[in-house]
């Protein structure tokens, strides 16, 4: 991926100044969404909260971005609204640059001890939960497939061939409908409790109708006839659950690009204080500090060369494989690699102001944004849903 550094800086600055100072923006991790109608319901619900100016919920990334007036509402009100709709929302803590006083008296800075900020494990915990959920869905899918195959074979090729066949089909289909199908039944009950319907409602209704009718036909054939539809129940649940599993696996891969970008940045920086070198976490580096970058190390933050001469590999930013020579006064981009010489640099942009942070933010916004023409398909789907119901 080739990125124009100047364009990234300009767009990052534009995004930073476009927001009204009286407005705040919050990002939420939202769980429980199963289809596009879920994200639409959450968006509409959040926009009804007093003080919320805009809300965008993305089904693929399972995140919601809310712009609001902090004088009228807060995060707790928005979380409560999402939970009232039947979903779970958790505010995502934005990486905040630690505010450390820039000491003019370097001697006092050496005596001052600063603790590194605790490692942010929120994303890791969320990733572990998603991985465990994906494993659980895979196991359920295997169970459903193993039980559905004999149901389909018996129903298609050996119908009414031996006594007790319907009982055997009932035994094979019941775990599919009750265990695997509970994913859909639970979602349907949740939306029904809030006076709405979604895709889970249709799946639950169709599979339950065919299953219950087959049960009645098995034990009371005189009421509804002896024809059963166990294969329909098994096929509906298995195929749609297969789609949900593939969708969940695809969602788990949507943030790989961002994770790789985040992994490019340095973890620590060598700060020069009173002629001595101090290694600090990158979160503690402040604008104006003097840093030392050895050959083979990553440039910790954006800055400019004070002394030294070297060549820097900027391929991760520009795509150009040939290293760029850097002299005194030249600009440096964080996360690029110093190739040869020893560089002394001054930090000019840190934290969320660096080029890499702007690129990450642009990728996140691209994943969560919607094209303007998506409003027409959304409107048509909503109209079709009302007509069907």
- Which pLDDT score, from 0 to 100, does residue 18 have? 43
For all residues of the chain together, what is the average pLDDT? 80
Of 98 and 201, the structure prediction assigns the larger pLDDT to 201
| Mean pLDDT value across residues 363-375 | 60
Q: What are phi and psi of 301, to 5 degrees?
A: -140, 175
Inside any domain, residue 105: no
- Rg over alpha carbons for the chain, rounded to the nearest Å, is 28
Of 358 and 148, the structure prediction assigns the larger pLDDT to 148
- Which pLDDT score, from 0 to 100, does residue 371 have? 57
Range of the domain at 38: 24-92
Residues 224 and 279 in one domain: no
Provide the β-strand partners of residue 273: 276
Residues 272 and 321 in one domain: yes
First to last CA, the chain: 46
Residues 314 and 339 in one domain: yes
Residues 238 and 276 in one domain: no
Share of the chain above pLDDT 90, in %: 36
Domain boundary among 252, 286, 311: 252
| Mean pLDDT value across residues 55-59 | 85
Using pLDDT thresholds of 50, 70 and 90, give the confidence band for residue 168: very high
Inside any domain, residue 57: yes
CATH of the domain at 317: 2.70.150.10
Residues 244 and 202 in one domain: yes
Inside any domain, residue 198: yes
- Which pLDDT score, from 0 to 100, does residue 14 have? 43
Using pLDDT thresholds of 50, 70 and 90, give the confidence band for residue 114: very low
Question: Is pLDDT of 2 > 80?
Answer: no
Q: What is the pTM of this model?
A: 0.66
Sign of the C-alpha dihedral computed for residues 148, 149, 155 and 158 taken in this order = negative
Distance CA(306)–CA(322), nearest Å, equals 23
- The 3-state DSSP class for residue 229 equals coil
Distance CA(161)–CA(173), nearest Å, equals 18
Residues 136 and 219 in one domain: yes
Using pLDDT thresholds of 50, 70 and 90, give the confidence band for residue 298: very high
Which of 81-85, 94-98, 150-154, 365-369 has the least mean pLDDT? 94-98
User: Structural domain tally of the chain?
Assistant: 3
- Which pLDDT score, from 0 to 100, does residue 380 have? 45
Residues 202 and 272 in one domain: no
b/e per residue, 290-306, with b = 16+ CB within 10 A? ebbbeeebbbbbbbebe
Apex 22 CA angle, 18 and 24, nearest 5: 75
- Which pLDDT score, from 0 to 100, does residue 103 have? 42
Domain boundary among 92, 113, 140: 92
Residues 245 and 309 in one domain: no
DSSP label of 283 = G
Residues 233 and 147 in one domain: yes
Name the token pair of 97: 């640059």
| Mean pLDDT value across residues 115-124 | 52
Residues 153 and 240 in one domain: yes
Nearest Cα to 277, choosing from 106, 97, 99, 100?
106
- Which pLDDT score, from 0 to 100, does residue 21 have? 64
Residues 147 and 37 in one domain: no
Which of 149-153, 291-295, 345-349, 380-384 has the least mean pLDDT? 380-384
Q: Which residues contact 177 (CB under 8 A, 6 or more apart)?
A: 207, 208, 211, 233, 234, 237
Residues 129 and 248 in one domain: yes
- Which pLDDT score, from 0 to 100, does residue 105 have? 42
b/e per residue, 148-157, with b = 16+ CB within 10 A? beebeebbee
């Amino acid at each position: 991926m080739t990125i124009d550094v100047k364009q990234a800086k300009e767009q990052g600055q534009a995004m930073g100044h476009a927001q009204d100072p009286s407005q705040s923006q919050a990002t939420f991790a939202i769980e429980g969404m199963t289809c596009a109608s879920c994200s639409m319901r959450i968006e509409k619900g959040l926009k009804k909260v007093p003080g919320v100016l805009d809300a965008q919920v993305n089904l693929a990334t399972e995140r919601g971005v809310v712009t609001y007036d902090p004088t009228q509402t807060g995060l707790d009100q928005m979380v409560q609204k999402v939970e009232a709709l039947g979903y779970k929302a958790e505010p995502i803590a934005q990486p905040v640059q630690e505010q450390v006083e820039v000491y003019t008296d370097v001697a006092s800075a050496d005596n001052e001890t600063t603790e590194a900020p605790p490692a942010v494990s929120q994303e890791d915990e969320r990733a572990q939960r998603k991985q465990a959920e994906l494993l659980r869905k895979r196991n359920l899918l295997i169970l459903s497939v193993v039980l559905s195959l004999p149901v389909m074979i018996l129903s298609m090729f050996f119908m009414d061939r031996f006594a007790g066949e319907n009982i055997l089909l009932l035994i094979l289909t019941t775990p599919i409908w009750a265990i695997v199908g509970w994913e859909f039944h639970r979602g349907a009950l949740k939306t029904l409790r809030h006076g709405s319907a979604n895709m889970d409602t249709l799946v639950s209704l169709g599979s339950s109708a065919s299953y219950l009718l087959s049960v009645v036909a098995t034990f009371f054939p005189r009421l509804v006839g002896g024809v059963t539809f166990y294969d329909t129940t098994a096929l509906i649940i298995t195929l749609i659950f297969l789609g949900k599993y593939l969708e969940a696996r695809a969602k788990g891969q949507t943030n790989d690009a961002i994770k790789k970008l985040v992994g490019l940045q340095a973890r620590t920086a060598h700060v020069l204080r009173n002629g001595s070198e101090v290694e600090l976490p990158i979160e503690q580096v402040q604008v104006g500090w003097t840093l030392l970058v050895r050959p083979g190390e990553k440039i910790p933050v954006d800055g400019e060369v004070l002394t030294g001469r070297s060549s820097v590999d900027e391929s991760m930013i520009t795509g150009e494989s040939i290293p760029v020579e850097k002299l005194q006064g030249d600009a440096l981009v964080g996360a690029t690699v110093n190739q040869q010489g020893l560089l002394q640099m001054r930090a000019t942009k840190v934290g969320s102001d660096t080029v890499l942070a702007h690129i990450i933010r642009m990728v996140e916004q691209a994943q969560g944004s919607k094209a303007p023409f998506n409003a027409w398909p959304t409107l048509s789907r909503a109209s079709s849903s009302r007509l069907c119901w």
